């Protein structure tokens, strides 16, 4: 608690601002890679839980939510336009195994 404040007081505000700027840029670049609403929802839940409790619980909540959404989408079968057998939109490993 107080030791962290003491360390931060030794750094100039400009250095802390630059660190915060680059951290924000990195987070924005990660958010730009969100392809679906489900990905964005997982990120928002993870962030909210992390802010409300701690980062470890937020991380676990994000992983659990991602797995639940993945399993829900894995079960949705849609006919393909090519006439091939039915498929899902779930992400699979490059070698074709789930």
In this prediction, residue 10 carries a pLDDT of 84
pLDDT for position 66: 92
Q: How many domains does the chain contain in total?
A: 2
Averaged pLDDT for residues 1-24? 82
List 77's β-bridge partners, or say none: 88
Give the span between the Cα atoms of 15 and 35, in whole angstroms.
33
User: And the tokens for 89?
Assistant: 């939109």
Cross-strand bridge partners of residue 87: 78
Which domain range does residue 62 map to?
35-79
Structure tokens at 16: 């802390």
One domain for residues 48 and 16:
no
Shared domain check, 18 and 39: no
Residue 20's pLDDT band (boundaries 50, 70, 90)? Answer: confident
What are the strands, taking DSSP E only, across 18-66? none
> Does 25 reside within a domain?
yes
98 is a domain residue? no
**Domain annotation covers residue 27:** yes
- 25-40 tens-digit pLDDT: 888 887 777 778 888 8
């Amino acid at each position: 608690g107080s030791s962290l404040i003491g360390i931060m007081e030794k750094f100039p505000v400009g250095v802390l601002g630059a660190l915060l700027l680059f951290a924000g840029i990195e987070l924005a670049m990660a958010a730009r890679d969100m392809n679906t609403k489900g990905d964005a929802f997982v990120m928002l839940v993870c962030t909210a839980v992390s802010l409300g409790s701690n980062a470890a619980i937020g991380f676990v909540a994000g992983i659990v939510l991602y797995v639940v959404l993945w399993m829900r989408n894995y079960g949705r079968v849609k006919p393909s336009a090519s006439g091939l057998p039915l498929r899902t939109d779930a992400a699979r490993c490059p070698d074709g195994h789930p």
